[in-house]
Amino acid sequence: MGQGRVFVTGSSRGIGQAIAVRLAKEGWQVALHASSPGEEMEKVRKAIGKQVKGVYYMDLSHADRAGELLRRVLEDGPLNALVNNAGVYLPLDFVGAGEASFKANWHRTFAVNFEAPVFLMRAACAAFAKAGGGKVLNVASRVGFRGEPGAAMYAASKAALINVTRSLAAELAPKNIQVFGVAPGWTETAMARSGMEERLDEILAGIPLGRMATPEDCAAAVSFLLSPEASYLSGVVIDVNGASYFH
C-alpha cells in the first residue's frame, strides 16, 4: 500500500499518467501536475477519483518558479514522495540549427528536464528532512547513458539528472531521504520521437525483448522503488529498455 502523499509532475499523459494511476491504486494520495489545464488532466482526475489530493498547473520551462510550485503542494498537506517525470524532447541539428533555435532548444530542454527537477527537489527535500524522511524518483532516459543522434541536449539533460540523483542519494541518506530513478528506452507515449512509426522495424530490431516499453512498464518500476520493499535502495537508476542497452 501507499505510504502517504506523492506529487507527480507531468501526470496528465504518458508515463506520468501511468505512474499516477498505478500509485493511486496502491493506496497513495496523488497530487497531479500539468503545464496547463485540459481534457487529459480531467480524464486522469476521473480515473484516480478520491485519491487525488491536489491538482497544480505550471509551465516548468520557468524553472526558477518550480520551488514555488512545490511549496504550493506542501501548503495543501504533507508530502512523502516526489516524482520528477515532466520532460520535453526537442530534436536538434547540433551544427545546422540557427543560433536562435539552438539557444531556445538548449534553454528549454535544460529548464524542464534538469533545472526544474533540481528546484523541486530542493524544496521537497527540505520538507522531507524536517519530517524525518522522504523519497524522490526521477524519470531519466536511456539516452542519458548512451546518447543519440539529434538529441544532444536531451541526452545531456538526462545525464545531468542521473548524476544529481546519484549524488543526492549519498548526500541525503543520513536524513532518511532516498533518491532514485528509472531510465526508459523506447516507450509508447505521445512524446515518442518523430518518425518513430517509419522506423518501427529498425527500433524493434534493437530491442531483444521485441517490443517497446509501455508507460505501465515504467510505472511498475517506479511503484517498486517507492515501496517499502526498496527501503535499502538509493541512488539506483533502473533501466526499463527491454535489454537494449547495458552500462
What residues are labeled active site?
Answer: 154
Residue 12 CA to chain centroid, in angstroms?
Answer: 12
What is the distance in angstroms between the CA of the first residue and the CA of the last residue of the chain? 32
How far apart are the C-alpha atoms of 13 and 138, rounded to whole Å?
A: 17
Residue 49, amino acid:
G
- The Cβ of residue 167 has, within 10 Å, a number of other Cβ atoms equal to 12
Rounded to 5 degrees, what are φ and ψ at 138?
Answer: -105, 130
- The helix (H) or strand (E) run that includes residue 117 is helix 116-131
Cα maximum dimension of the chain = 51
Q: How far apart are CA 160 and CA 141, in angstroms?
A: 11
